[in-house]
Every structure is written in C-alpha cells, then in structure tokens.
Amino acid sequence: MAISQIISLFLLHLLLPLASISLSQSSHQLICEVGTGNGGSIGGTSPLPASLSKLLIKGGTVVNAHRQERADVYVEDGIIVAVKPNIKVGDEVTVLDATGRYVMPGGIDPHTHLDAEFMGTVAVDDFFSGQAAALAGGTTMHIDFVHPVNGSLMSGFEAYEKKASKSCMDYGFHMVIRHWDESVSKEMEIMVKEKGIKSFKFFMAYKGTFMVDDAVLLRGMKRCKSLGALAMVHAENGDAVFEGQKRMIERGITGPEGHALSRPPMLEAEATGRAIRLASFVNTPLYVVHVMSIDAMEEIAKARKTGQKVIGEPVVSGLVLDDSKLWDPDFITAAKYVMSPPIRESGHNKALQAALSTGVLQLVGTDHCTFNSSQKAFGIDDFRKIPNGVNGIEERMHLVWDTMVESGQISVTDFVRITSTECARIFNIYPRKGAILVGSDADIIIFNPNSSFEINPRSHHSRTNTNVYEGRKGKGKVEVTISRGRIVWKDDELKVAPGSGKYIPMPPFGFLFDGIEKIDAKLVSSFKAPVHRFKSDV
C-alpha cells in the first residue's frame, strides 16, 4: 500500500467519529422514546404527540393504486375505519390538515439487508436505525433477508428475531437458501406454515459463499411451488464473475471500476434467462431481485410476453444512477457505489424507468445494505474486498416520485402501485398493507407534491457517513409519516420507539399461483406419453 493511501486511511479513521457527531447534530432530529443507545440522537425540540388512538386526516386527496378521490381518513387504534368526505369528529380526535396534499399508503420496501453480516463485516444500519431512516422517507414496512445459521433455517430465523427486537416499524422476512438437503426441505415447510415466510432467495452469484448451483436451484424451486412460496433469485453467473474478477486483477485493475468491469450486463442476463427457463420447467412463479440492466430486463420482458409469471424488481440506485462515479479518482467516493449487480453505464437507467412505466417491471426496492467509508476501504487495494451495498431506504419514495412522476412517466396512482400496493399483493398482505381502505392498517403518508427535497449525508438518518444520492434535489416531499396510527414523522422531526415495530407474517400462495395446476395439467396432456408398444420377439 502506498504511503499516501496509508495516510488517507489513517485520517479517515480519525474523521469517522466526527462524521457521527455531525449526524447527531442534524437539523432532522431523532427523538427516541426509549433511551439513546439504538441509534440516532436525542432532539432538542419538544416531543411529538404520543401514540394516538383516534386520528383524522382531513381535506386531502386519497390515492390508492386503483383510484384517487377527495376524502378524509379516520383512524382508530391503528386501523383505518372510514374513508369518505366531510367526516365529523369530536374534540378527543387529533386532526391533521392535508389540504393540497396527497394521502397515500406508506411505502413498502421489498428488498433490504439490515444488520447484515457480509464480506467479513456487518452493515451499519440495524433494525432501529434503518427503520428510522425508512420512516423519515415515507416507508412504513420493509422485507428483510434472513440467512441460515450453521445451515439451519430455524436458527437463522431465531437470530433475526433477536436482531429485529429493536424494530420501530413493521417488517417481514424472506429466507435465503444456501445449500440443499432433506433438513432444508423440512425447515422450508416450517418457515412457510409456522413462521409466515412465503419467499426464498437463491444466489446465483458470490461463488464460494452464497452461490448455489442449478441442482439446488431446481430442487428449491420445486419445493417453493409445493409450499406456495415465491422463488427469488439474485441473477448473475457466479462462475463467470469469478473468472472476470481474476481477469481484472491480472490486468492490474484493482479499483472500484474493476467491480463493474468484472460482471458485465451479459452475465446478469445469462443468469436471469437461465432462472426464468428453470422456473418455466418447474412451472412456478419467479421473482428476480435488483434488475440492473437492459439485458436482464429484456429476458423478463420476453418471458412475460409468453404469459410466464416473472416479477422484475428494479432498485432505486439502478433507476437514477449511472456508473460514472466508479471511475472517480478518489477511492472513497468510488467505493461507496460498489454493489452487485453493479450500477450500469448511462442508458440502462432510462430503459429500466421505461420498463417500470409500461409494466414490464412491477415494483421498486432498494437493496439497502450500508457500509461506512472505513468498511469500504477494506478493498482499497483489491475491489473484491469492498463490501457490496448502497443506501436507499430513506430516499426511495422521494427519488421515485421525482424521477417517474415529475417526468410524466407514471401517474400518481402508479406511484402508489410500484412503491407499496404491488409489493403487498405479491407477498399476499394486501389490503392489510398497501392501501387506504377501511380495515387496512393505518400506515399512511401525507405527501406534498409542491415541496422539495435535497439529499445530504449530514442530515439523513442512516448511520452511514456517505450517501450515493448526495446533492440530489427534486420535487415532492413526505411531510407526515403515520405508522399503524402513530405519527412518527412530522415537521422534519422523527419520533420512534425501539421495539414498537411488529413482524408481519405473509401467507403462502396468492394471485401468482392462480392457474398453476391448469398449466401443469395442460403440459401433462401434451406429452402424448407413455406410448404403449407391442413387444416383438427379437
């Protein structure tokens, strides 16, 4: 390592505590009801009102995925009990004036990694700080990924239950499958029938750690189908990526740009196409996480055209960024953009936006997995050691609005669909979540389309000291976030309590499995087999 690099790292370690202090002095105060040890800071302003049993949101435009209407929304004990114009209430009800604003379901982020152990370190956002950031950005539920512990799904689930004990908003779990044997098959059934997990993720990348081969993928898909669970894939050809990484190192390309160069779009497309074909062979729905390239998107489009049930999830970084920063001469700047699949060159983002606007892709996640500058610096001499991951859980709703609605690519109702409702439908928790309807949980945001936002790592609520969207400005701002009837974000103040969040079980099957048996039956009838042959003497 060069002397200049050593000095830079030394200064970085000195400066990180100062960065943490500056976060705690942010103008966006975090008021924690139960101590200060779980992240954020104690604000110097008066606390927001405590838990509210009765709440009226008056004068706004209520937006659901299917329609928008002028109406009031009345909430009791965390549940929406009325949606209609001119609701009259007594003095004991807290009233929020939403005149000139949209009243929408809180966002649901289908793809996060909080408190995740990865590449020899742990993500800096846990289930308190990450969720606090989410609430400040208008997201009221997320679904995180549970990894097995010592090969056991149950041990992994129990470990994540402990991690999530500090939650301050509602959450669900996906489960990662990393190997296959009979015990995994049995535990998958327990996860689905007893623990409320209806989705299992298979990594086709990260050779030597998370990656599974096609045999495991096939067995896992077949088991998912039998349980009514959704098979999910991280689609990159791990063997080819491994070879690409070696090729970059041999050519002396050791910086963050080597990460993108070692895993080009064709490798994402190959794995996406292979997973789609295997899912078709099994006849089970497939969910492709973090679609980052035109190449992978086109594989999904082709499959959906034939009627195959494939869900494509772009993430906000892929929609709004390009890879230019990976070539920044400052390592720390470049390294913060390293994620997998990588952020692509300009043009892919616009194509993904178009695919989202036309329904080729269905919903937007974040893949929020944050590491600070000192952690990213693990790979200062070898991009393969840079922990993969970027932020987004706080920024997603604002960036999607500014990128997709303000540009005229989608409508306000479409915005609700791709940030909330579609996720609730896919994971079978609609209309409890993802809707402003009578009987739905009161997870609500009040959104001002005429206000503006600016993203700054000194005022965000994540514990990371960097932000890949730093400096971005736009229109549309979440002014109020309500989590199960409780006002948790208002007037740029966040009031959250560790342990107040709830685990949301997700039932199996759902609309994606409609008609699966008929397709199976049609396939069997097409075999024209077995053929009954006469045996002849030879």
Across the strands, what pairs with 202? 177, 233
- pLDDT score, position 36: 27
CB of 129 closer than 8 Å to CB of 463: yes
Between CA 224 and CA 198 the distance in angstroms is 8
Mean pLDDT score, 152-162:
98
**Share above pLDDT 90 across residues of the chain, in percent, rounded to a whole number:** 87
CB atoms closer than 10 angstroms to residue 248? 21
- pLDDT score, position 52: 56
In a domain, 23, yes or no: no
CB of 223 closer than 8 Å to CB of 188: yes
pLDDT at 157 over 60: yes
Tokens 């997603």: give the residue: 396
Q: With left for phi above 0 and alpha for psi between -120 and 50, is residue 392 left, alpha or beta? A: left
- pLDDT score, position 268: 98
pLDDT at 344 over 90: yes
pLDDT digit string, tens, across residues 356-408: 999 999 999 999 999 999 999 999 999 999 999 999 999 999 999 999 999 99
- pLDDT score, position 538: 66
- pLDDT score, position 14: 35
Total domains present in the chain? 1
| Furthest C-alpha separation in the chain | 97
Mean pLDDT score, 70-89:
97
Question: ω before 431 within 30° of 0 (cis)?
Answer: yes
Using pLDDT thresholds of 50, 70 and 90, give the confidence band for residue 286.
very high
Between CA 356 and CA 221 the distance in angstroms is 26
In a domain, 27, yes or no: no
Q: CATH code at 365?
A: 3.20.20.140
In a domain, 210, yes or no: yes
pLDDT digit string, tens, across residues 436-462: 999 999 999 999 999 999 999 999 999
Handedness of CA 321, 326, 328, 333 (dihedral sign): positive
Q: Residue 450 in 3-state DSSP?
A: strand
In a domain, 415, yes or no: yes
Handedness of CA 368, 373, 375, 379 (dihedral sign): positive
Closest CA to 319 of 103, 159, 474: 474
pLDDT digit string, tens, across residues 173-182: 999 999 999 9
Q: Which two tokens stand for residue 477?
A: 């701002």
pLDDT at 328 over 90: yes
pLDDT digit string, tens, across residues 463-495: 999 999 999 999 999 999 999 999 999 999 999
Using pLDDT thresholds of 50, 70 and 90, give the confidence band for residue 40.
very low
Q: Residue 132 in 3-state DSSP?
A: helix
More confident of the two residues 2 and 174? 174
More confident of the two residues 537 and 377? 377
Q: Which domain holds residue 368?
A: 106-437+452-474+500-517
pLDDT at 514 over 80: yes
- pLDDT score, position 537: 72
- pLDDT score, position 413: 98
pLDDT digit string, tens, across residues 91-150: 899 999 999 999 999 999 999 999 999 999 999 999 999 999 999 999 999 999 999 999
In a domain, 48, yes or no: no
pLDDT at 11 over 70: no
In a domain, 392, yes or no: yes
pLDDT at 49 over 60: no
pLDDT at 33 over 60: no
User: Taking all residues of the chain, what is their mean pLDDT, rounded to a whole number?
Assistant: 91
- pLDDT score, position 27: 35
More confident of the two residues 21 and 40? 40
Q: What is the distance, to the nearest Å, from the Cα of residue 244 to the centroid of all Cα atoms in its chain?
A: 27
In a domain, 528, yes or no: no
In a domain, 246, yes or no: yes
Closest CA to 388 of 272, 241, 232: 241
- pLDDT score, position 53: 84
Can you give the pTM of this predicted structure? 0.91
pLDDT digit string, tens, across residues 215-267: 999 999 999 999 999 999 999 999 999 999 999 999 999 999 999 999 999 99
